[in-house]
Amino acid sequence: MGRKDAERLLLNPGNQRGIFLVRESETTKGAYSLSIRDWDEVRGDNVKHYKIRKLDNGGYYITTRAQFESLQKLVKHYREHADGLCHKLTTVCPTVKPQTQGLAKDAWEIPRESLRLEVKLGQGCFGEVWMGTWNGTTKVAIKTLKPGTMMPEAFLQEAQIMKKLRHDKLVPLYAVVSEEPIYIVTEFMTKGSLLDFLKEGEGKYLKLPQLVDMAAQIADGMAYIERMNYIHRDLRAANILVGDNLVCKIADFGLARLIEDNEYTARQGAKFPIKWTAPEAALYGRFTIKSDVWSFGILLTELVTKGRVPYPGMVNREVLEQVERGYRMPCPQGCPESLHELMKLCWKKDPDERPTFEYIQSFLEDYFTATEPQYQPGDNL
């Protein structure tokens, strides 16, 4: 677990000062970090991180004057006295248990009869999304595709790649029904799509720090896709899913390439998400990780406007023409200029001048310490 995820867990509402967790250090192999929730008048609730160092003889210490033969003894000591830490340790922070790798070892292609569709969660151009149960026991999300949306053979081939992409900010693919109508079975996310969450859910009331954190999580998942030399092709709030504690995960990666509908493949057709698509991808079909970066810039506008459609008042054709001429969306109301600058970097005409997702992730994770330390909540954000 990384520093940022540790902070997210410890700062969950309901956690008290002194709640802690021990995790493997991101920066030093074989070392550990102790993360503790603290509070002070200047910063309010915050998290302090302490490096736990290892002795050559196998012991552990935070400060050389207090050395322990095991991590358990170190924790026991700091539960009894703060001894130089910001606060003495109270309870261990519960972590979210990792999702199963799939439904069962051999259950990758599953029979349709093993799935029960229970609650329809949404409907799109190409199918529906349902909450359901697999084998009467496991709660899952099921995406059903209209017959003719994509070739089953091509889908199965892509699904083999998608199955291998495993990251805690990507919605894991559990199983498929590969005959038409194709069913895609994934982890069920309690709060639904980010778009609906921002427009109708609790997301309406979020302030900038939570929105930037959600953006950082999405950038984290996209940085993994970047490292794996994969491309999403349809990155937007509608394809991000939200779970408990504002956890965000990327869904539908790679599927857009397989869609066979003429209204989509024409790229100017009614079903194509032109407002999210980089000009070189919309005009010439050049989809790369850099066209995903463009889409991420548009997704940032969705976050800060709580789900408003990009380029308000403009139709698709107009957007394409204006963007080609150099038009870019102005800074949304209440959005800090520094965040708009990041959007504009994502919208550079030359794809090579756009930042990497690795850069975007670190920029957003450190946003309130490095870029906007003076942030004060306003009416809007």
- Structurally, how many domains does the chain consist of? 3
Q: Which residues pair with 295 in a beta bridge?
A: none
Same domain, 15 and 157: no
Q: Is 234 a catalytic residue?
A: yes
Q: Is a pLDDT exceeding 90 seen at residue 156?
A: no
CB contact at 8 A, 361 and 248 = no
Same domain membership, residue 352 and residue 228: yes
The reply to whether 293 and 231 lie within a common domain is yes
Are residues 239 and 322 both part of a single domain? yes
146 and 223 co-located in one domain: no
Helices (H), the chain: 3-10, 71-80, 152-164, 194-199, 208-227, 262-265, 279-284, 289-304, 316-324, 337-346, 357-365
How far from 40 is each of 198, 241, 375, CA to CA, in Å? 31, 33, 17
In a domain, 91, yes or no: no
* Residues 127 and 227 placed together within one structural domain of the fold: no
CATH of the domain at 180: 3.30.200.20
In a domain, 338, yes or no: yes
243 and 158 housed in the same domain: no
Task: Tell me the pTM.
Answer: 0.80
Contact 159, 173 (CB under 8 A): yes
| Cα end-to-end distance, the chain, whole Å | 29
Which one of 156, 187, 218 terminates a domain? 187
- Whether residue 371 lies inside any domain: the answer is no
pLDDT value of position 105: 46
Closest CA to 234 of 257, 214, 203: 257
Residue 227: name the closest of 347, 126, 358 by CA: 358
Smallest CA-to-CA distance from 140 within 106, 180, 173 is with 173
Joined together, the tokens standing for residue 68 give 């322990």
Domain identity same for 169 and 205: no
Across 103-170, the runs of DSSP E, i.e. the strands, are 115-124, 127-134, 138-145
pLDDT tens-digit profile of 85-94? Answer: 999 999 999 8
Q: What is the pLDDT of residues 25-81, one digit of tens each?
A: 877 777 899 999 999 887 788 999 999 988 888 889 998 889 999 999 999 999 999
- Please check whether residue 375 lies inside any domain of the structure: no
CA angle 46, 50, 53 (to 5 degrees): 170
**Residues 238, 286: one domain?**
yes
C-alpha–C-alpha distance, residues 199 and 164, integer Å: 33
Looking at the fold, whether 165 and 232 belong to one and the same domain comes out as: no
Catalytic: which of 38, 196, 213, 234? 234
Within-domain flag for 378: no
Mean pLDDT of 119-123: 87
Same domain, 211 and 340: yes
**pLDDT surpasses 80 at 322:** yes
CATH classification at residue 27: 3.30.505.10
Q: In this structure, is residue 90 part of a structural domain?
A: no
- Average pLDDT of the residues in 146-163: 82
Residues in the chain: 381
Q: Assess if residue 92 is contained within a domain.
A: no
Relative to beta strand 60-61, strand 67-68 is antiparallel
- Say yes or no: 306 and 200 in one domain: yes
Is residue 89 a part of any domain in this protein? no
Sheet holding 248-250, edge to edge: 192-193, 240-242, 248-250
Confirm or deny that 271 is annotated as ligand binding: no
Residue 103 has a pLDDT of 53
Range of the domain at 299: 192-366
